[in-house]
Amino acid sequence: MVLIYASSPEGQLKKTAFEAVTYGYKVAQSLGAEAVALTIGNVDNAGVLGQYGASKVINVPAGGFDSGVYANIIAQAAEKTGANVVVMADDSTGKSLLGRVAVRMDAGSVSGVKSLPDTANGFSVEKNVFSGKAIASYNISSANKVVSVTGNTFPPEVVGADVAVEDGGITAPESRITVKEVSTVKGTVPLPEAELVVSAGRGVKDPGNWGIIEELADILGATTACSRPVADVGWRPHHEHVGQTGVAIRPNLYIAIGISGAIQHLAGVNQSKTIVVINKDPEAPFFKAADYGIVGDLFEVVPRLTEAIKKHKG
Amino acid sequence: MKLLVCVSKTPDTTTKIAFTGDNTALDTQGVQYIMNPYDEWYALVRALELKEAAGGTVTIINVGAASNDTVIRKGLAIGADDAIRVDAEGGSAYFVAKQIAEQAKAGGYDMVFFGKETIDYNGSQIGSMVAEMLDMPFVSYATKMDVSGNTATISRDIEGGQEVVELSTPFALSAAKGLAEQRIPNMRGIMMAKRKPLNVVPAVAVDEKVSIVSYALPPAKSDCRYIDAESMDELVELLHSEAKVI
Ligand SMILES: Cc1cc2nc3c(=O)[nH]c(=O)nc-3n(C[C@H](O)[C@H](O)[C@H](O)COP(=O)(O)OP(=O)(O)OC[C@H]3O[C@@H](n4cnc5c(N)ncnc54)[C@H](O)[C@@H]3O)c2cc1C
């Protein structure tokens, strides 16, 4: 049995959760097992996880996020369902939970996997290491296994219909953490989940110049991001900072505008499927990592690109 | 307050990665090592600030061989009071977590600090493992922490925003950008570090459950295709029909 913990930020199941269930369903198929999904807290429409392959959904009531409480619930659910493989997303909840669940279940664990397990001899999964500069193949030899799945790697696949949501007879232990406040940007897709990202750096020169960047993002339906110095001086909010010290992303399209392409910046974006670089310096290191490059002044090129996309969407 | 900061040694961010032994081991030739930046800049410095404000001790712990002592001495130079090195060649996240938990149990710490991840294996697992082994609450990706008495208010990074939580000691946390500002060790710190205690303790045995079988380099990126700055229609067409991303 494969158990998938589907995270539900602010009560909503999102693409990240559907990706985890899709992955878990595929693992279950390769093991000839069933996939059961688990949600925790108040969740809208948890039965929808059946569409991605869960044969049933267990929901356990609990308060705000506390890794100790949630790990306890996940381990209980694994025991009740007889699951020896637990799958979750490598998102902010997964990063707090994976190790805890592994310890509770006496399981081997790998975070941020990007391949389905090779079960030909054992159970091995691939993961990016050295900030995307290499790929390591990990073998898990214990009976119980816990993995978290890299985002935007296994697109959600609809294979079934909604299923019933059961309560599973699991009680949450008492929490030692009080969640006082959750504040997230509304109206745009959060960066780690975004498929299209428009990012800008010091080349934009002044926070007042960001209008052209936002216009391009708007017309594309993209999320905006920035390089570290731009967030450091407060031109852009901290949560937009991508790279080694910021958010690591892997969108389908990353447009880098006025960013030089320092190795620490690339570490957070080099997994993007397609990279477009706009820079006036033909020697900018970012061009080495680019699929498409435009050498030119961003203040001319970006508005032109926005117009071209308008025309295309036409 | 008794504070424990877990620090690891990682290859410098600009290291060129290569492998030896039929792609089963990292080629360490010419690799420059540093203290993992999240451990050094954010976790260690926030712990030192708390000590400066309210008294107490800051102990750093590392699991590794004697060659890690330079990184540990740097932590002492920045201001930690003493250090523990669990003598081992390293191992899985679980192995390292087990060693840290073993020492932390004996020390009775109020807070155990980690970096949000190491920049080599990017695992982000050890903090949550140690928290579970010690039965402590754990807050990951902390970007701000205020402490009053034994209560802490912590902001942490979540997708597209922040979450603010409150909890009491003892607890564990992992540090992200924002939690503190990097400190450069000064001459006095470096001199004093030489005399601070660095206790080397043996590792406990662990049954490994996970191992790295092999490494590979990512497939080479195809060359950049340059598009004339006047021809944005062409770029849009390529993104649509060739890259299929819009
Ligand atoms: C340990 C460590 C961690 C780090 N982590 C990160 C991280 O997570 N993320 C990150 O981004 N950085 C990080 N950095 C910093 C990184 O090394 C670079 O300094 C930073 O990415 C540079 O930002 P930038 O490209 O916006 O600015 P710059 O390097 O100043 O580049 C600006 C670019 O804009 C171009 N430009 C200027 N004007 C125009 C114009 N009119 N039209 C077109 N192009 C123009 C220039 O040619 C130049 O290439 C880290 C550094 C260290 C040491």
pLDDT confidence of residue B231 = 97
* Residue A64, pLDDT above cutoff 90: yes
Task: Provide the residue ranges of all domains of chain B, joining segments of one domain with +.
Answer: 2-217
Q: Please choose, from the candidates A92, A108, A93, the residue with its C-alpha nearest in 3D space to the C-alpha of residue A147.
A: A108
Asked if A120 reaches chain B (Cβ–Cβ under 8 Å), the answer is no
Cβ of A262 less than 6 Å from ligand 1: yes
Distance (Å, whole) CA A260 – CA A193: 24
**How high does pLDDT run on average in chain B?**
96
Identify which of A228, A241, A247 to mutate to test ligand 1's pocket (most ligand atoms within 8 A of the CB). Answer: A228
Note the pLDDT tens digit of each residue in A103-124.
Answer: 999 999 999 999 999 998 899 9
Using alpha carbons only, give the angle B165, B166, B170 rounded to the nearest 5 degrees.
120
Token readout for A31 is 């093991």
pLDDT confidence of residue A248 = 92
Least confident of A107-111, B11-15, B102-106: B11-15
Architecture of domain B2-217: 3-Layer(aba) Sandwich (3.40)
Cβ pair B50, B41 in contact under 8 A: no
> Which residues sit opposite A20 in a β-bridge?
none
CA distance A102 to chain B (A): 8
Mean pLDDT of A227-231: 97
Note the pLDDT tens digit of each residue in A19-32.
Answer: 999 999 999 999 99
Record: contact A92-B119, CB cut-off 8 A: no
Contacts of B189 (CB under 8 A, 6+ apart): B76, B77, B78, B79
Distance (Å, whole) CA B72 – CA A37: 44
* Residue A186, pLDDT above cutoff 90: no
Record: contact A134-B17, CB cut-off 8 A: yes
* Residue A42, pLDDT above cutoff 90: yes
Work out the pLDDT band at A165, boundaries 50, 70, 90: very high
Q: Which residue has the tokens 């958010």?
A: A247
Cβ of A24 less than 6 Å from ligand 1: no
* Residue A266, pLDDT above cutoff 90: yes
Distance (Å, whole) CA A124 – CA A117: 5
Contacts of A154 (CB under 8 A, 6+ apart): A19, A22, A23, A26
Token readout for B139 is 């807050």
The interface predicted TM-score of the complex, written ipTM, equals: 0.95
Work out the pLDDT band at A161, boundaries 50, 70, 90: very high
Distance A201 CA to ligand 1 centre (A): 6
Strands B161-168 and B19-20: unpaired
Residue identifier of the C-alpha nearest atom 19 of ligand 1: A262
Distance (Å, whole) CA B62 – CA A252: 39
pLDDT confidence of residue A185 = 84
Cβ of B170 less than 6 Å from ligand 1: no
CA distance A297 to chain B (A): 8
In the stretch 153-182 of chain A, residues with CB closer than 8 A to chain B read: 176-182
Record: contact B211-A312, CB cut-off 8 A: no
Least confident of A16-25, A286-295, B8-17, B37-46: B8-17
pLDDT confidence of residue A121 = 83
- The neighbour count for residue A34, using CB atoms within 10 Å, is 18
CA distance B115 to chain A (A): 11
